[in-house]
Structure 1
Amino acid sequence: MSFIEEYNHYCEQHGTPDRIEALLCDINAVLRGKWLSGDGVEKLEKGAVRLPLSTYAPAIMGNEVKNTGLGIEVGDPDGILKPISGTLLPAPWQQGNVAQVLVEMTDMQGNVSQLSPREQLRSVWQQFRDRGWRPVVATELEFYIVRARSERSEAPRPPSFSPDAQNYDMELLARREAILNDILSASAMQGLATDTLIAEYGPGQFEINFHHTDDVLEAAETAILFRRLVRGVVANHGFEATFMAKPYLEHPGNGMHVHASVLDSDGKNIFTPANGEETSRHLLNAVAGVLDSMRDLQAIFAPHGNSFRRFLPNSFAPATPDWGIDNRAASIRLPETKGPGARLEHRISGADTNPYLVLTAILGGIMDGLVNAPSLPRPLDDPQSVPSSPLEHDWTSAVARFEQSSISQHIFGDYRDLFVTVKRDEIGTIQNPITPAEYEYYLSRM
């Protein structure tokens, strides 16, 4: 349906909105945009709402990154906001009748900007469709609920009476029932495909699973919208929610696991064994592809300085490019290897990532494996398995490797250079300040 029809349908269900929030996903998956009046739908439909194209690529701190070639140096030209079909949804945690809609930007000729992370995912998705394949994906997201803070620099603290290890604790779910019910209710109002919800290991940590879908753009958007929803709902209860990769040094980090399989043109899972195979060669090739590209693409799976704390020893997260059958210690786990549910689970991404880019990288690795069949190491549970060397734990090195990689160039094209430029600006900002620890340990001793 057209956006006007979608808007009319919204009004029939929820009434005329007080405002419409137009949300643009930037390179860091921060949602930026504008508030429009509730009757401003025609203005959006006609392309009369604009933002600078540079809005796609600021640093995480929000500043313009000079070396991207965007921004004021080139006049900071506008793009035209275009609503993404199916994303006009209520925001029930907000006061009043508030609607939100995800948007993309086009140039003045109507072409979707190549600065869009969504366009990166669309491109790799098209490669599968060109071969008659349909990837099916589902994400799992972990997050922490923490006490409300008075200063941005204040360290997080778990809610009162949170045990250090609350793994699958049903009492913890009951204790946070009001918050969790509001999260699930808001998710249902937005049509987000939530599945199971559990108390995760860390104090105040929870995990949501989403249903599998063959619409990979929708899968990414579900994760993006859910993160916004959770922060809004939890704030209404006097707490904060965070998807930061590692908010506590001593507790598990927040991950975003991705389950993936591929269907053929008849709807059959190509990861199901055929012709007497014990395990499908397609599945093994896909595993080889994501393992072979994992080091080179780590900057996508761990895009911020804090992200790399998940790869330090004893950090509770997989830290080497390896695989195993139903083995949660592995970076790539095969939960099922037969039947419709045959799939791989990619386990190294943090919950702080851009879901569009993560799915692009994973599907790009799968495609490379299916086409080129790189060599596959033995699984972790094989007695003759040789341990892999750890993934990178240094942010700067991971970005440099991503910049020089042929697979990152193949998957992301020119977008790779934009990503690297934005990350280098973030690295400079985060790593330059002298830390309190340096003053504590060096100032009076040197």
Structure 2
Amino acid sequence: MTMTFREEYAAYVAEHGRPDRVELMLCDLNSVLRGKWLPGDDEAKLADGAVRLPISTYAPNILGEEVEATGLGITVGDPDGRIVPIPGTMKPVPWANSHVAQVQIEMLDPDTHALSQLSPRQQLANMVDRFHARGLNPVLATELEFYLFQPRTDMDAAPVPPERSPTAQNYDLEVLERTQAFLDDVLSASKAQGLATDTLIAEFGPGQFEINFHHTDDVLAAADTGVWFRRLVRGVARVHGMEATFMAKPYAGFPGNGMHVHASVVDDAGKNIFDAGGEVSDTLKAAVGGVLDTMRDAQAVFAPHMNSYRRFQPNSFAPSAPDWGFDNRAAAVRLPEIKGPGARLEHRISGADVNPYLAITAILGGMLHGLDNAPTLPTPLDDPAASPAAPLTDNWSAAVERFAASDFIRDTFGDRYQRIYADVRRDEISQLTTEISQVEYRTYLGRL
């Protein structure tokens, strides 16, 4: 039975004491957490629905500005939505310098008084409901990569790896030992917040790490974990006098940061529908075909920002075409296991800069598309007879326009969310691509 917020707050205070403040966190379209600080003795205000935010807070651009084309914000009076806490999300913030708690929040639609469909989390909840309506339950695990780097005084400066970071540190145990204090605090904070961390490794790039999370049938919690973990890592890094980033491609010459999603589906009897006991099952083939068939339409979700598209250029160390294979990390979709309870697909296209709610919604939507339509599956990359798939686009604008015109996206997210998401991305494109870069000044200004 779900506790009320008052009960959850009282249970938190009984275990940890009363916090000095509670940070109310709302995840926007860009996966940026926005919200308010609530005094620790003012929990009744949140419990009684007396805390509000503008409903437009769900859909600003990456700079935090409202986008007029969305029809939200001051053009319609910027109305408020009433904040409601998400049950089970009140957690301590161990890296804070005082007693701080956090609570994830949503807003109610001012007209319907239901949870707003502008919420990325609610978009994922809608997709999970589609599976449940069929007697199916998705099971997920995610992997997240990030870079640790030296602190900057100039926000325009490029990142500099931690001292003594080898340029190829893949699985290097000494790298883990040298950063043990930071990593121990990351794991400790994850435990305090109930994040289901699994293995942690040194990844290829200098100062790059990867964390794996346990599989769960609580799909919303799996996505929450991705959002919370990014905030947690950046916060712990600051305490250690460092910075951390989940930017898709912070270094031109080293691998980018990805978010890999392992996905299987069980029926109401608890059986993995991808398990046929031997060869690749028809259901697993269909799900793989579905995510490949819809990958181009959803690329603007898997690669939301300008920097994201550097992972889709030659020699970027990341999959860049809608292809698949068995134990093949060059593939966009990998099948680590094809039989037993662990039969699943691994979706490897997303950068770590994605909104986890939206990315997982698109992946699950692609799987449903495959189960319904069984698209033709290309030859796996492991087969010598395989022909290379045409690459995904490295053109940000082209990806957004394909997203905006897609029937699959409209069915997955709804017409309004499709339009708002595209409008926010177009605004970001307009702002960032019209700015003259330092490389242009360095190359052309003194020579032409």
TM-score, scaled relative to structure 2: 0.98
Unaligned 5+ runs, structure 1: none
Counterpart of 1:392?
393
Q: 1:190 & 1:438 partners in 2: Cα distance?
A: 45
Q: 1:201 & 1:85 partners in 2: Cα distance?
A: 38
Counterpart of 2:176?
173
Which of 118, 122, 130 in structure 2 is aligned with 1:115?
Answer: 118
Which amino acid in structure 2 is aligned with residue 313 of structure 1?
A: P
Q: 1:173 & 1:40 partners in 2: Cα distance?
A: 42
TM-aligned CA deviation for residue 445 of structure 1: 3.3
C-alpha distance after superposition, 1:379-399 (max 9, x if no partner): 001122111011110101110
Q: Matched residue of 1:102: which SS?
A: strand
TM-aligned CA deviation for residue 368 of structure 1: 0.5
Instruction: Describe how 1:34-433 pairs up with structure 2 within 5 A.
Output: 34-108=36-110, 109-273=112-276, 278-413=279-414, 414-433=416-435
Q: 2:413 & 2:21 partners in 1: Cα distance?
A: 36
TM-aligned CA deviation for residue 408 of structure 1: 1.0
Q: 2:154 & 2:141 partners in 1: Cα distance?
A: 35
Unaligned 5+ runs, structure 2: none
How many equivalent residue pairs?
A: 444
Q: Matched residue of 2:294: which SS?
A: helix
Q: 2:75 & 2:90 partners in 1: Cα distance?
A: 34
Q: Is 2:14 aligned against 1:32? A: no
Q: Matched residue of 1:22: which SS?
A: strand
Q: 2:447 & 2:179 partners in 1: Cα distance?
A: 47
Q: 1:421 & 1:153 partners in 2: Cα distance?
A: 27
Q: 1:442 & 1:226 partners in 2: Cα distance?
A: 42
Q: Matched residue of 1:161: which SS?
A: coil
C-alpha distance after superposition, 1:239-294 (max 9, x if no partner): 001000000000000000000000011000000015xx621100000000000000
TM-aligned CA deviation for residue 119 of structure 1: 1.1
Q: 1:46 & 1:264 partners in 2: Cα distance?
A: 39
Which stretches of structure 1, 4 residues or more, deviate above 3 A after TM superposition? none
TM-aligned CA deviation for residue 441 of structure 1: 2.1
Q: 2:25 & 2:401 partners in 1: Cα distance?
A: 31
TM-aligned CA deviation for residue 359 of structure 1: 0.4
Instruction: Describe how 1:2-13 pairs up with structure 2 within 5 A.
Output: 2-13=4-15
Q: 2:156 & 2:444 partners in 1: Cα distance?
A: 22
* Percent of aligned pairs with the same amino acid: 62
Q: 2:381 & 2:90 partners in 1: Cα distance?
A: 45
Which amino acid in structure 2 is aligned with residue 245 of structure 1?
A: A
Q: 2:235 & 2:266 partners in 1: Cα distance?
A: 36
Which amino acid in structure 2 is aligned with residue 115 of structure 1?
A: L
C-alpha distance after superposition, 1:209-261 (max 9, x if no partner): 00011111110000100000000001000000100000000000000000000
CA RMSD of aligned residues (A): 0.8
Q: 1:54 & 1:180 partners in 2: Cα distance?
A: 36
Q: 2:265 & 2:397 partners in 1: Cα distance?
A: 34
TM-aligned CA deviation for residue 110 of structure 1: 2.3
C-alpha distance after superposition, 1:274-330 (max 9, x if no partner): 5xx621100000000000000110000000000000111111000111000110010
C-alpha distance after superposition, 1:33-53 (max 9, x if no partner): 000010221110111000000
TM-score, scaled relative to structure 1: 0.98
Q: 2:285 & 2:241 partners in 1: Cα distance?
A: 47
TM-aligned CA deviation for residue 100 of structure 1: 0.2
TM-aligned CA deviation for residue 442 of structure 1: 2.2
Q: Matched residue of 1:294: which SS?
A: coil
Q: 1:415 & 1:273 partners in 2: Cα distance?
A: 37
TM-aligned CA deviation for residue 88 of structure 1: 0.3
Which amino acid in structure 2 is aligned with residue 36 of structure 1?
A: L
TM-aligned CA deviation for residue 443 of structure 1: 2.4
Of residues 326-335 and 106-115 in structure 1, the stretch that sits farther from structure 2 once superposed is: 106-115
Q: 1:262 & 1:114 partners in 2: Cα distance?
A: 25
TM-aligned CA deviation for residue 410 of structure 1: 1.1
